[in-house]
Structure 1
Amino acid sequence: MPHRSLGVDYGLVRTGIAVTSGGYSPRPISILSSSSSPSSPSSSPDHRRANATVELSKSIVNLMISEMATEIVLGLPLHRDGTDSEQSELTRDFGRVLAMEVRRRRGRECRVVLYDERYTSREARSRMIAEAMARNDRIPTVHELRGCIDAYAACLILEQYYRDDGWANAEVLSLMDDSIEAISCDIEYAKYAEGAERERSRMMHERYKRVNARREMIDRDRASEGGMAMGDCRGGTRRRKKKKKKK
């Protein structure tokens, strides 16, 4: 089975998500809200931002599980000269939270990597406009582009990552195995995996019961049809004998 990767274009307002199998034809799958919920105005802005970060990481891992991906490629916005920017530091902070959530629910086998995403948003905007012009469609407005450009940019992150052999030089976000965070994540993953295995066994048992019940129903129907056919044969024989006696 080809290696599946999830591309993430992280932003403070919206986060675009894309997926690819072995680098072929990356496709956008979702745009998630990165901002904090206004439902708890009494909490501090830092607390709301931290909660939003955790919720976003959970949503991304949910997509990772549903898409059966084993890797997340998180775009890292750098300056033109390749140095860190303010946004790249925020992305690194988010990446660490995301890496913990991945290890907590997917174990050590799955990973999160940071990959240079310079100019992907600009290129995504140019490509979307060019594609609209090639189809003779109306050129999308800035507002329309804003609604889908993040997921398109996530596709470009994956495209460039595989094109440039990014897995060979990408920055892997990993936890120290003997750290408190790593140990805590491993314990939670063991519990999560145990619960997932119990649920899998339960579903297999239910499926086995349904298959057996259907098989028994088919056997009863066949037996009933066989009995009716035998009864018809005997009835026909009796009727023929009665006709002979009348003669």
Structure 2
Amino acid sequence: AASAIRELSPLMGTKSLGVDYGLSRTGLAVSRGYSSQPLLTLRSNNATDLAIQITRYCVSEQASQVIVGLPLHMNGTENDQTILTRVFSQRLAESILASMGPKVPVYLFDERYTSKEAAARMHNRDPSLALYGTLDADAACIILEGYYGDNGKGAELVTLPANIAEVAMAKYKTKTEKAEQARKAALLEWQTATKRRKEEMARLRKEAKETEANSGEGEGGGKKKKKKKKKKKK
């Protein structure tokens, strides 16, 4: 029954980027459908730079959505880290909108227990591993697993203030227009080069035929006709 529900899930086949945000370390993971795997851990305390880096991975992984873990107290109430994560998620949403457009949403999803579970997984794999080596990326992976396991229920869409969204969207349109202009210019250049090659090949074939024809005429004109000798009557 569970497998049947998963097959009918609208999330099946979608590719997501999971983010376990931290002030100094941020873990990333990728997921297609219900299969998740850790990606890497970014080290940065600059929120703007971090948002740009994550956006680049979102582009390279061709993610259709981003899931940011939302830290909460065990009783579900918010704390200081919750506020910082909300602020960062808006900065990330702005960066993604400016780069990828409105079709790649950013969601916040409850990340309680993920760090403990990630540490437990690392210990089970290899007790000698450094705790912070892949802990954050594993936590991001668990965030994705929870999101897909609940079919996205409880996820909170990150929305931007109208003025910020307008500026980001304008950047995206400008970027898209420039990319389209570059594509058209490249296509025109290719078409022009192809036309020139065809014209050059046609010219060379024509010259070759003319040379062959002239050569044949020269050989024919250079031959001397042999005169038939008349037999003398005896």
TM-score of the superposed pair, with normalisation by structure 1: 0.70
For residue 65 of structure 1, report the CA deviation from its aligned partner: 0.7
- Find the partner of 1:11 among 2, 13, 22: 22
1:163 corresponds to 2:159 = no
1:140 corresponds to 2:128 = yes
Task: Give the 3 Å change call, closer, same or farther, for CA 126–189 of structure 1 in structure 2.
Answer: same
Query: CA deviation digits over 1:72-110, x for unaligned, max 9?
Result: 100011000001011111101101111111111111111
For residue 162 of structure 1, report the CA deviation from its aligned partner: 0.1
- Find the partner of 1:33 among 43, 59, 62: 43
Query: CA deviation digits over 1:89-138, x for unaligned, max 9?
Result: 11011011111111111111111100000111110110121123xxxxxx
Equivalent-residue separation in structure 2 for 1:91 and 1:181 (angstroms)? 18
Look up the SS of the partner of 1:113 in the other structure: strand
For residue 209 of structure 1, report the CA deviation from its aligned partner: 7.5
Look up the SS of the partner of 2:131 in the other structure: helix
- Find the partner of 2:160 among 166, 175, 178: 175
Equivalent-residue separation in structure 1 for 2:41 and 2:147 (angstroms)? 20
- Find the partner of 2:96 among 92, 102, 117: 102
Task: Give the 3 Å change call, closer, same or farther, for CA 117–194 of structure 1 in structure 2.
Answer: same
Superposition pairs for residues 119-134 of structure 1, below 5 Å?
A: 119-132=113-126
1:187 corresponds to 2:170 = yes
The residue aligned with 1:197 is 180
Task: Give the 3 Å change call, closer, same or farther, for CA 208–159 of structure 1 in structure 2.
Answer: farther
Equivalent-residue separation in structure 1 for 2:182 and 2:131 (angstroms)? 42
1:22 corresponds to 2:8 = no
- Find the partner of 2:138 among 146, 149, 152: 152
For residue 206 of structure 1, report the CA deviation from its aligned partner: 6.3
The residue aligned with 1:240 is none
Look up the SS of the partner of 1:110 in the other structure: coil
Look up the SS of the partner of 1:145 in the other structure: coil
The residue aligned with 2:83 is 89
Structure 1 residue runs of 4+, over 6 Å off? Answer: 206-210
**Which structure has greater helix proportion?**
1
5+ unaligned residues in a row in structure 2: which ranges?
1-11, 206-234
The alignment covers a number of residue pairs equal to: 199
Equivalent-residue separation in structure 1 for 2:184 and 2:60 (angstroms)? 19
For residue 205 of structure 1, report the CA deviation from its aligned partner: 5.5
Query: CA deviation digits over 1:36-71, x for unaligned, max 9?
Result: xxxxxxxxxxxxxxxx11111011111111111121
Give the fraction of aligned pairs with identical amino acids, expressed as a percent: 40
Query: CA deviation digits over 1:197-229, x for unaligned, max 9?
Result: 23344555666688x59x97xx89xx9xxxxxx
Q: Which has the higher mean CA deviation after the structures are superposed, 200-209 or 148-157?
A: 200-209
Look up the SS of the partner of 1:17 in the other structure: strand
Look up the SS of the partner of 1:32 in the other structure: strand
For residue 34 of structure 1, report the CA deviation from its aligned partner: 2.4
TM-score of the superposed pair, with normalisation by structure 2: 0.74
Task: Give the 3 Å change call, closer, same or farther, for CA 161–191 of structure 1 in structure 2.
Answer: same
Equivalent-residue separation in structure 1 for 2:135 and 2:188 (angstroms)? 45
